[in-house]
Amino acid sequence: MDICIPFKALGDPVRVSILKAVCCERLCVGDIVARVNLSQPAVSHHLRILREAGLVTAEKHGTTVYYAIDKDKVNSVCCCVRDEFEVE
């Protein structure tokens, strides 16, 4: 895994806020917009980066897409950091 990709995605405080919003429940873009107080296009842009980094999943139900944190990927990133720096 290229450890830099997820960390580049996490380098923006807005994306960290979005991850926090979707960490415990699936949310649609409108719900995320309300929680992070940004425009829909801005949230969509950040979600695309998070999806490309593998940190969130997108699941379509009808015309609505719901986003959730990818816990396996986040755990994998944490393990890579631990292994890279030999942290116990």
Domain 4-85 has CATH 1.10.10.10: yes
55-65 pLDDT, tens per residue? 999 999 999 99
pTM listed for this prediction: 0.85
- Give residue-wise pLDDT tens across range 9-50: 988 999 999 999 999 999 999 999 999 999 999 999 999 999
Would you call 24 helix, strand, or coil by DSSP? coil
Amino acid code (one letter) for 57: T
What does the alpha-carbon distance between residue 73 and residue 71 come to, in Å, rounded to a whole number?
Answer: 5
Sign of CA dihedral 40, 45, 65, 63: positive
Residue 1 pLDDT exceeds 60: no
Q: How is the chain split into domains, by residue range?
A: 4-85
Question: For residues 15 and 25, what is the distance between their CA atoms, to the nearest angstrom?
Answer: 16
